Structure 1
């Protein structure tokens, strides 16, 4: 027979009693004055709720930025004199690509595009095919910024529902963990917070374009769009 020290038994009883006292308010709509007024927040395993692992599409904003780079390439090659002819200007495999029609324009085209963007790497093949793509560090920073912004927006949406102490945190490079305890209808919550398609879309601000020019021309640069602020009026 195992004998436990009396002090160990006493400590165990005190801890159990302490737990019962602090858990008791959860069983009353209006706890008695003798009990603590604050209830314990029960987790998903005790009171149910919702658990989501949300993928953030970090490629779409990069493609939008590449659309802007493609427009700049077109302007640099055909908007300046002498005009440089090219073909097959497109976005392929997360890069802007095109081919010179005349190899004699190689150096001039390279010089015009070399400093187009500090985050862009310019690669040129022997057959005069140009390839402009973001550096690995630029892609990582863009992805991190987008995920952080997504968490801010998601947290604001969750707070508007009135739920208490949700778990919202980054998982890996491009995922967000969302856990909400105590909601009766996870599907309704998902539709309200994440959307009917369960997809969150976020857009980075185009800091290179001029808002005034876009409004006056009534046309945003390729890959961008004009959004007007809702002041509640």
Structure 2
């Protein structure tokens, strides 16, 4: 195939990818999972990755940017912002991993790859804030007095309720990359168990034995439950 005909074929492929992205109404196989269009686009990008040129670099950058904008818009369709973040995490990590696998750094540069990694990290932080910031807010300690003891009872009840709700929801979600799943869960478990442990210690100090009837979870329970987040499996 001549250079002109090759370029025409590649141009045709990019036009088809644009159409695929613009017309996409597909659903991921699992809640917040990898969009089929993400897979399709990255597979086609692989096919042209070996033909390095400034023109091709610009076209690949453009089509992936178009895909990422589409994914951002699609993430807003989730009623739960945390699940929207998980959707972006899964698709962002897929793009990042495939770009490395296909050695797209040769045509797009290392900086482009690092930007994809940073975006995944940013969405991980969005997930943490939208999921757990409210829950952690229930565990703030005040001055030890009768009013605070009653307030802590209410806070603990709210914590128990919201923690269970969020955990049950997110047990049906999935992070496709096991390494990234651990990077999300391990720091979250440390923050949650530390903050919860301090709260329970202060709660018991104020209420003594009366505190036990309000305590639904031990610190170990919290740690074990968080380890089982994103446990959905596509059998």
TM over 0.5: no
Rg bigger for which structure? 1
Instruction: Give the structure with the higher percent strand.
Output: 1
Q: What TM-score do you get using the length of structure 1 for normalisation?
A: 0.27
Instruction: Give the structure with the higher percent helix.
Output: 2
Q: What TM-score do you get using the length of structure 2 for normalisation?
A: 0.27
Q: Which has the higher contact order (CA 8 A, sep 6+)?
A: 1
